[in-house]
Structure 1
Amino acid sequence: MMIKPIKLVLVVFLGVIIILNGVECRKARSLESFEYSAISCRGHSASILDYGGVGDGKTLNTKAFQTAVNHLSQYASDGGAQLFVPAGKWLAGTFNLTSHFTLYLQKDAILLASQDINSWPVVDPLPSYGHGRDAAGGRYISLIFGTNLTDVVITGENATIDGQGGLWWQQFHKKKLKYTRPYLIEIMHSDNIQISNLTLVNSPSWNVHPVYSSNIIIQGITILAPVTSPNTDGINPDSCTNTRIEDTYIVSGDDCIAIKSGWDEYGISYGMPTKQLIIRRLTCISPYSAAIALGSEMSGGIQDVRAEDITAIQTESGVRIKTAVGRGGYVKDIYVKGMNLHTMKWVFWMTGNYGSHADSHYDPNALPEIKGINYRDVVAENVTMAGRLEGISGDPFTGICISNVTIGMAKKAKKYPWACADVEGVAGGVVPTPCELLPDQGEEKLGMCDFPSDSLAIDSVALQKCSYGMKYF
C-alpha cells in the first residue's frame, strides 16, 4: 500500500522526535560525574556494572571485581584507571588490586564480604611473624588485597565495607578455625597508598593492615565493631615507613591503632621497622584496649611516632607499650601530645611482661630497648589509675618524660595512682604526683617533653582534585 506524502512526513517527524527524546533521556540517565581528592588522578574510568556486577546483596561479585581490576590493569602505564562502584549491596569474596588504580565506592554503596569460609583462599603467614595469629598455620587472605603495588587509592563517599564478621567471631571463640581470620584491607610490599573516606564495619579481625609498605595516607576513616568482638583492631601500620593517619573515628574490640613490626625471632630476622608515623585527630572507644598501642609484635623496631590531638572515651588506656623478653627490637623516639581522655582504667601503661610468643623458639636473651618516650599536654577524667609503668628487670625502660598532665581520679580509683618498676625518667607539672622513679621537676617544666618541630616527608604530600565522568550507553 502506498503511503500518502503528508502521512510519510508525519511518520518521519514523529520518529525523529522519539529518537531525539530517547537520546536526551538516555544522556540524562547515564552520566555519572563527581569529584574526589586523591594522591593521583586517573586517565581511564569504568564501572563494576560494565563487568557484570549486580548490587542486589545476593549475587556473588568476586569474579566481576577481579575481572574489572585485571582488565583495567592494562592502563597502568597510560594514566591509570578507576573502578566505580555505585549504590547497592555488592556481595564479594577476596579480590586483588593493581598498580596506578583507584577503587571508588559511591555513597550508599555497601561492599559485603562473603560468609562462605571455604571460598576464602589461604596464604602463608607473614614472614616477620612466622606464625598465624589465630592458628599455627596460614591465614585467610584479606577481602581487599594487594602486593608489590605502587600508586593505589581505595576511597569513596563514606561508603561502607562490611566484613560480616559475626560468623568468624563465633568460629574463633569455638576454636574451629584452622587459619587466621582475614582482614578487610591489606596492602603488602607497596608504595604510595591512600585509604580514605570509608566506613568499615564488622571486620572478621583487623580492619586496615598496611605491611612492608611506605608512603601511606589513611584519612577520614570510620571503623565500627562491637566492643566485645575479638581482635578487631582499627588500623595496624606494620613494618611501614612514612605513614599519615588522620581524622579517624574508631569503635572496636581491640586497639584503635596498633603499631607493629614483627613477632619475636621472625621479626628480628626480618628486621623491618615501623618508623616516621604521624597520627592526628583520632577519636577512639575501646573499653578493653588502648587508643594507641605500640606492640606487642615490635621485634623489627618502632621509631619516630608522632601522635597528637587524641580523644579517647571509655577506653582501657590512652597509650600502651607492650613488649617482653624474647621480643628484641626497640620502641624509641615516641612523641604524644594533646590527649583528651574520659573514663579510663590507665592513662599511661607500659609493660615488659607481655607474653603471647609465636612459638617456643624465641631467644630468651633478646631484650627489647624502650627509650625516649614523651607524653605532654594531657587532660583525663574519671580514671582508675594514672599510670602503670613496668619495665624489665635488668633492662629498664629509659628516657620517659611526662609533662603538663592533669588526671582526675574516679571515685573508686586505686589507692596509689601510680605503679612503677624498672623505669627511668622525669615529670613536670603532673597531677597526681607521679612515682619516685619519675621525679617531678615542677610547674616550670610543663613543656619540657619534646615534640618534633620538623616535618616528615609524608606531610608534604598534597591530594589532588580528581573527577569521574562515565556514560553508560
Structure 2
Amino acid sequence: MKRSAVLLETLMILATVGQSSWAALSTSSCKEMGSSTYRPHTVTVTEFGAVGDGVTLNTKAFQNAIFYLHSFADKGGAQLFVPAGKWLTGSFSLISHLTISLDKDAVIIGSMDSSDWPVIDPLPSYGRGRELPGGRHQSLIHGSNLTDVIITGGNGTINGQGSVWWDWFNNHILNYTRPHLIELIYSTGVVISNLTFINSPFWAIHPVYCSQVLIQNVTILAPPDSPNTDGIDPDSSSNVCIEDCYISTGDDLIVIKSGWDEYGISYAHPSSNISIRRIVGEAKSGAGIAFGSEMSGGISDVEAEDISLFNSLYGIRIKTSPGRGGYVQYIHISNVVLNNVNIAIGITGQYGEHPDENFDPNALPIIKMITLEDIKGTNIKHAGTLEGIQGDNFSSICLFNVHLNVTSSSPWQCSYIQGSSNLVSPESCEPLRNPYQTSVCYTANHVRTQNLVQAA
C-alpha cells in the first residue's frame, strides 16, 4: 500500500473515533515533549562519507558523524541530518542531546548481513535472549543511558529488510535473538516522531527501562505473516505517550511488557503511567492493544482511548501464565471501534513459554482493576474469551457500554474471573453480571484523579 493511501485511510477511520483530532496533543499527565528542540550544531551524514545509493554500506559514516557530534553534547546538543537517498547501514549507537532528522525522501536501510548487527548481552529482566538462550542482535538504531534523544523527520523511512531475518527464524538457523529497528535502554527524554518504519526483523520500537518517552505520528508496517513483528513495545518503562499512529504488522500493534518470569520478578522494574491515544491499525496475527505475556515486573496505570482496529485477531488482550508473578492493574481502555475482529476482548492465564526451568510455578500473576468502556464492534466473531487461573481469579474486570455485533452463537467464554458489567451486548458472561460499581471498577474518575496527582 502506498504511503499516501495508508495516511488517507488512517484519517478517514480516525474521523469515526471520538472527537479527538489527528493532530491534537494529549492533555494527560504525559510531560510536554516534542521534536522541535533547537540544536545549535548540525551536520549531514554525507560530510562523513555516506553514499545514498542503497548499495554502499554506511555504518562507519553514521558512527563517525555521531562520534563527532558528541563534542557538542554540553553545548546545546547537535543534529545529524539524513538527506534524500537510500542509506544502507548496520547497527549504530546514539548519544545524548542528539536529534537524528530524516528528509521525507530519506530511507535508512538495515543491512541483510547479520554480522553488521553486533551481538549484545541479554536484558537483565529477561535473563536471556527472548527467542534463544544467550545474547541478542543489537537494534539498527541503538542507545543506552541517554538523555534528550530525538529521532524524527519529514516522514522519512527506516527499513529493516526483515524478510531475511524472518526466513532465518522460520528455518531455525539463527544463533541469537533477532534485532529491533530501535531499542533505547535506561534512557530519559526520548522522542520518536514523524517517521515510517517498515519490515522490522523483530519488534519495531522497544524502549526498555526508559522514562519520559513520546512516540507520535509514526507509521509501522510489516506483512501480516511476518513473525513477531510487534509495533511498539514499552518494556519496564514509565511516563510513556504513544499517540497518532498507524500500525499494521505481523503481531501485536502496541504491547506493554515488564520482564520474564524469575528475571522480571527479581529485576522488579514495572511499566507504569502509560498513555495510548488515537491509534489506527490491523493485527491479523495479534492484538491491537496487548499486555504481556512478559509482565513479571508489573504493569499499572495505563490509559488507552480513541482506538480503531480492523481485520485483527484480537482487539484488546492480556496475556500471562503461572510463573510470571507480577501484576496488570489499573488499566482503563475507552472509545474503541472494532471491525472484522475475531475476539474483541481476550484475557489468557495460560499463555507463553518460560525462559528456563528455574521459574517458580507458584508465582501467580495479579490481574485486577481492568475497565473497558465505550466499545463498539461490527463483524465480531467472539465478544470475549476471559480465562483466569484456577486458584488465582482475575478480579475487578469491568465492562461498561460495550456493544458488539457478534456472529458466533457462543459470544463469551469465561473462567476464573470476577467483575461487573452494565450496558453490554451481547450480555456478558455470568461472572461479570454484577452491577457496575465505582468501588470495584477502575473508572474514568480514577484516571483523572491519577493524572492530577501526577501533574501536581
Q: TM-score, normalising length from structure 2? A: 0.90
Residue equivalent to 1:38: 35
Letter in 2 for 1:88: G
Gaps of 5+ in 2: 1-32
Q: CA separation in 2, counterparts of 1:459 and 1:369?
A: 24
Picking from 328, 345, 350, the partner of 1:348 is: 345
Q: CA deviation at 1:118?
A: 2.2
Residue equivalent to 2:223: 226
Q: Does 2:448 match 1:453?
A: yes
Q: CA deviation at 1:458?
A: 12
CA contact (8 A) 1:215 1:458 kept: no
Picking from 182, 189, 211, the partner of 1:192 is: 189
Q: CA deviation at 1:132?
A: 1.1
CA contact (8 A) 2:369 2:442 kept: no
Letter in 2 for 1:190: S
Provide the secondary structure at the position in 1 that maps to 2:368.
Answer: strand
Residue equivalent to 1:290: 287
Picking from 403, 418, 422, the partner of 1:424 is: 418
Q: Does 2:435 match 1:438?
A: no
Q: CA deviation at 1:351?
A: 1.1
Q: CA separation in 2, counterparts of 1:126 and 1:171?
A: 22
Q: CA separation in 2, counterparts of 1:107 and 1:362?
A: 47
Residue equivalent to 1:212: 209
Residue equivalent to 2:140: 143
Q: CA deviation at 1:58?
A: 0.7
Provide the secondary structure at the position in 2 that maps to 1:453.
Answer: helix
The C-alpha deviation readout for 1:187-244, integer Å capped at 9, x for no partner, is 0001000000000000001000000010000000100000000010000000001000
Picking from 401, 404, 407, the partner of 1:407 is: 404
User: Quick check: 50-59 or 261-270, which moved more?
Assistant: 50-59
The C-alpha deviation readout for 1:146-187, integer Å capped at 9, x for no partner, is 000000000010000000011100010000000000100000
Residue equivalent to 2:355: 358
Q: Does 2:118 match 1:100?
A: no
- The equivalences for 1:80-95 within 5 A come to 80-95=77-92
The C-alpha deviation readout for 1:237-263, integer Å capped at 9, x for no partner, is 000010000001000000000100000
CA contact (8 A) 2:34 2:191 kept: no
Residue equivalent to 1:21: none
Letter in 1 for 2:330: D
The C-alpha deviation readout for 1:296-330, integer Å capped at 9, x for no partner, is 00000000000000000011111100000000000
User: Quick check: 334-343 or 40-49, which moved more?
Assistant: 40-49
Q: CA deviation at 1:457?
A: 8.8
CA contact (8 A) 1:89 1:112 kept: yes
Residue equivalent to 1:384: 381
Letter in 2 for 1:338: N
Q: CA deviation at 1:110?
A: 0.3
Letter in 2 for 1:300: G
Q: CA separation in 1, counterparts of 2:236 and 2:434?
A: 35
Q: CA deviation at 1:119?
A: 2.6
Residue equivalent to 1:374: 371
Picking from 311, 317, 320, the partner of 2:317 is: 320
The C-alpha deviation readout for 1:383-404, integer Å capped at 9, x for no partner, is 1110111111111000111000
CA contact (8 A) 1:89 1:111 kept: yes
Letter in 2 for 1:126: L
Count of aligned pairs between the two proteins: 419
- The equivalences for 1:129-208 within 5 A come to 129-208=126-205
Letter in 2 for 1:304: D
Picking from 380, 384, 397, the partner of 2:394 is: 397
CA contact (8 A) 1:433 1:440 kept: no
Structure number, greater radius of gyration? 1
CA contact (8 A) 2:331 2:442 kept: no
Provide the secondary structure at the position in 2 that maps to 1:358.
Answer: coil
Q: CA deviation at 1:441?
A: 3.3
Letter in 2 for 1:40: T
Identical amino acids, percent of aligned pairs:
51
Q: CA deviation at 1:357?
A: 0.8
Q: Pairwise CA RMSD of aligned residues?
A: 1.7
Letter in 2 for 1:416: S
Q: TM-score, normalising length from structure 1? A: 0.86
Gaps of 5+ in 1: 1-35, 461-473
Q: CA deviation at 1:37?
A: 5.2
Letter in 1 for 2:208: V
Q: CA separation in 1, counterparts of 2:275 and 2:453?
A: 8
Q: CA separation in 1, counterparts of 2:268 and 2:174?
A: 30
The C-alpha deviation readout for 1:418-444, integer Å capped at 9, x for no partner, is 1111100000000000011001538x9
CA contact (8 A) 2:42 2:80 kept: yes
Q: CA separation in 1, counterparts of 2:434 and 2:391?
A: 24
Residue equivalent to 1:55: 52
Q: CA separation in 2, counterparts of 1:365 and 1:263?
A: 15
Letter in 2 for 1:399: S
Residue equivalent to 1:465: none
Q: CA deviation at 1:454?
A: 4.1
Q: CA separation in 2, counterparts of 1:449 and 1:457?
A: 16
CA contact (8 A) 1:39 1:153 kept: no
Residue equivalent to 1:116: 113
Q: CA separation in 2, counterparts of 1:117 and 1:329?
A: 35
Q: CA separation in 2, counterparts of 1:247 and 1:455?
A: 23
User: Quick check: 432-441 or 63-72, which moved more?
Assistant: 432-441
Q: CA deviation at 1:40?
A: 2.6
Q: CA separation in 2, counterparts of 1:65 and 1:171?
A: 27
Larger RCO (CA under 8 A, 6+ residues apart): 1
Provide the secondary structure at the position in 2 that maps to 1:66.
Answer: helix
